[in-house]
Amino acid sequence: MPESSAFPRRAGNGGSVFLLALLAGLAAYFLVVRWFGADDDPVDRGFQVMNTHARVVVPEGTSEFPPSKLADMAVAAIREVDRLMSPFGEESDVRRLNAAEAGEWVEVSPETWTVVMDALRWHRLSGGAFDPTIGPLKRLFRFDGGELRAWPDETALAEARSKVGAQKLRFEREGMRLIRERPGMLLDLGAIAKGYAVDRAIEVLLRENVASALVEVGGEIRTIGMKGGPGGRPWRTGVRDPRKDDVLAVMEMSGGAVATSGDYESFFLFDGKRYQHIIDPRTGMPLTGAAASVTVRHPTSCMAADALATTLVVLGPDAGAEFLRGQALGLFSEGVEVDMLFLGEGDSLKRIFMSVDREGNFSSPKETPVEGWGVAG
Ligand code: AMP
Ligand code: MG
């Protein structure tokens, strides 16, 4: 009877078994070579996270890990920040706090705690221009497709304003717990969490002794070393034209962070005016006529660059300069450079530059030409 098996056994096939083993061995060899070959390739990975686009570039591996594995680790660090701080996720500390009863303590992760404490520091330092409890006003001025349906009435505005104010967010260091004092308050880390996510990814890579990398989340960028390793060239990042789909200037960077805020990526038009997604907590209104974009370079912290860029959009050039000067010898601003872009006549651009050097000296705002800015393409 013939054997009825999917894998019929045959007798006397020693030769073909040997041949098969040889072929399998060769196939495995080529697979491994191909695999490691591919594994050594530089990685430039784009992905969606935190409601925006992110990118991790790792040109070289380390003795321990190939670039693809290092990129995996950086991506995981960014996704973890999203998981903890997104306004929506099931496991998000922000969502849990916002859903809790007013007056109820909510314990948060050490990561969220760090970001909230930093956000509260920015709130205090900026005299309230930066406010991580802006949520209710943001919700009131929610817009789809660049258009606000109706301007909120006074009652709704007053109601939302009463729920905004970081001083109404109480905290207890031990236990890392937070309380919203008022019902309807909403924590919103949108102006600072992207920079923090970049820093976390960069920290992971630094811990693995990566000599060269770039991490970006929604335009907030930080780099390690030179592109292509030691002896390579600096990383190049573009400053976008806030009104055209074009690069205005190319900046070189090696090891620093850069963040941009403004009205070019997210805005709405109402009564012929363009309003930003950044809200002045002191008036409760979305900004209009403010800087079209503010770019902040910071030597060591993308979180600081991110928070500072948003703060300076709210403060504007004069109060912004005052603020920077006041902090010039402070911890956060040494080595900071700021470029503010304003729209002039007929969509011409006005650029205002100011900086704090590493010795803490503040350079007053200077109107600086846009032409010839940055390095040649
Ligand atoms: P960014 O793009 O970093 O400037 O952050 C903008 C986001 O921060 C907005 O979409 C809001 O979620 C939030 N936000 C708006 N206004 C403020 C403000 N005055 N302070 C802190 N966060 C704000
Ligand atoms: Mg920001």
Start-end of CATH 1.10.3980.10 domains in the chain: 88-180
Q: Is the pTM of this model over 0.85?
A: yes
Measured from the CB, is residue 208 less than 6 Å from ligand 1?
Answer: no
Closest ligand 1 atom to Cα of 279: 16
Q: Whose CA is nearest to atom 8 of ligand 1?
A: 191
Mutate which of 220, 278, 295 for ligand 1? The one with the most ligand atoms within 8 Å of its CB, which is 278
Measured from the CB, is residue 307 less than 6 Å from ligand 1?
Answer: no
Measured from the CB, is residue 134 less than 6 Å from ligand 1?
Answer: yes
Mutate which of 118, 121, 126, 188 for ligand 1? The one with the most ligand atoms within 8 Å of its CB, which is 188
Measured from the CB, is residue 195 less than 6 Å from ligand 1?
Answer: no
Measured from the CB, is residue 278 less than 6 Å from ligand 1?
Answer: yes
Residues around the ion ligand 2 (C-beta < 5 A): 191, 261, 306, 309-310
Question: Which pLDDT belongs to residue 15?
Answer: 61
Q: Which residue has the tokens 């309380």?
A: 179
Report in angstroms the alpha-carbon separations of 349 from 87, 119, 205, 244, 372: 35, 31, 38, 11, 13
pLDDT tens-digit readout, 211-236: 999 999 999 999 999 997 778 899 99
Start-end of CATH 3.10.520.10 domains in the chain: 234-377
Mean pLDDT of 45-49: 98
Looking at every residue in the chain, the average pLDDT score rounds to 90
Q: What is the distance in A from the centroid of ligand 2 to the CA of 204?
A: 22
Mean pLDDT of 207-214: 97
pLDDT tens-digit readout, 134-190: 999 999 999 877 888 889 999 999 999 999 999 999 999 999 999 999 999 999 999
Q: What is the distance in A from the centroid of ligand 1 to the CA of 126?
A: 14
Mean pLDDT of 11-17: 57
Mean pLDDT of 274-282: 95
Ligand number, closest to the Cα atom of 186: 1
- Other CB atoms within a 10 A radius of the CB of residue 3 amount to 8
pLDDT tens-digit readout, 53-106: 999 999 999 999 999 999 999 999 999 999 999 999 999 999 999 999 999 999
Cα–Cα distance for residue pair 266/204, rounded to 1 Å: 30
CATH of 234-377, one of 3.10.520.10, 3.40.50.720, 3.50.50.60, 3.40.50.10090: 3.10.520.10
**What topology does CATH give the domain 88-180?**
T-fold (1.10.3980)
**DSSP secondary structure letters along 142-164:** --BTTB-SSPPPHHHHHHHHHT-
Cα–Cα distance for residue pair 93/102, rounded to 1 Å: 15
